[in-house]
Amino acid sequence: MTSYLDHAATTPMRPEAVAAMAEEMAYAGNASSLHSSGRRARRVVEEAREQIGVALGASPSEVIFTAGGTESDNLAVKGLFWARRAADQGRRTIVATPTEHHAVLDPLEWLVKHEAADVRWAPVDRAGRVDLDGLEQLLDEVGESVSLVTVMWANNEVGTVQPIAQIAELAHRHGIPVHTDAIQAAGHLPLDFTASGVDCLSISGHKLGGPISSGALLARRGLDVVPGMHGGGQERGIRSGTLDVPALRAFALAATLAVEAQPTESERIAALRNDLVRAVWDAVPDAVLNGAVPRELDGLGPTLAPASSAVRLPGNAHFTFPGCEGDSLLYLLDARGVECSTGSACQAGVPQPSHVLLAMGVPEATARGALRFSLGHTSTASDVAALAEAIGPVVDRARGAGMSSAPTKQKQAEEVKR
């Protein structure tokens, strides 16, 4: 039996969402058509829009449907930059954190290369949390040239939650709009778009039990966002394209269910997460927990940052294992029926250490030995027990393989440099 510990990558669809999507797929109708079938489809879309608004503290008119989190992030980052630059040619600076998801980092890189943007990085501490004093100083220095600030609500790798309301307050003192990638936060943390003070917020359906390729950008009414593509003018003219009615119905239902269950479910999952962390430390005492450290885990094992009041996603446990390669650990665990994620990405077959860990001050060699375990609505104690049984032998084997193959790896590295 497989133990699935990769809910941060995608979580299984909720049965209710599957049923709603299957039922809706039996109906025809483009939500932009004026005949009866079209009007019926439009009702479903608007009901979904209202459900998302209620669940996340937004007006229905502030909900712009997209095909997922990456599109929402791109639309916000590029759209706000273009709008602000058009209004004031001097506003070419974007403030972001170096720990953002690539759905934000890559658009930033594209804007630098093609649109003469200037990106300034807000400092983060050892837990990956924004240094508010450093951010305030940065905004005082460059605020007049800043088009937007973008900071993810909760980190997808190490699970650290940012002080979003305080960040928004600092940016608004300089008249700067704020975007947050809340893809990992929605449905897992208390989240209220209006109360947060941000100007736009990205969410994704498949992170909270909805279908893949569904998502939304919550954008404050009156916010000027230049569209990334043009066509039929759907979604306030910001995101043209025929709406996927079955997916949106399922997405809205999943979001509603996730938000309704969040208070009790987060408590349950956090308890499982703490059991998982203890089990890893029992089996591998030198494994290092990365990200914000809950006080109930303080002193039980090595951590990158001291225990603090900083919040962590309830289902996230991110470790580095000294003397191991994360990819090796992942494959060895997979062979034992435990599925998780590595903290590194692979480009052209060459392993790269996590940019998140590097920004947090982790040495490159250490960052290569990272694994992320993430729990969700289907997780149980048996999943934790499976990892507890497997992790010790897997780490021992990976360390043994790493020692025996060290000369080969050095030779491979030299070949890559050539």
Q: Which residues are catalytic?
A: 346
270-282 as b/e, with b when 16 or more CB fall inside 10 Å? Answer: bebbbbbbbbbbe
CA 315 to chain centre: 13
- Tokens read off for 194: 């209006």
Strand 350-352 versus strand 338-339 pairing type: unpaired
DSSP 241: S
Provide the greatest CA pair distance for the chain. Answer: 70
Q: Which of 128, 135, 180 is nearest to 157 (CA)?
A: 128
C-alpha distance from residue 147 to each of 87, 169, 223 (Å): 10, 15, 13
Partners of residue 150 on adjacent β-strands: 96, 179
Ordered DSSP codes for 279-338: HHHHH-TT-EEES-B-GGGTTSS-BSS-B-S--B-TTEEEEE-TT--HHHHHHHHHHTTE
Whether 298 contacts 307, CB under 8 Å: yes
Contacts of 252 (CB under 8 A, 6+ apart): 47, 48, 49, 51, 52, 55, 210
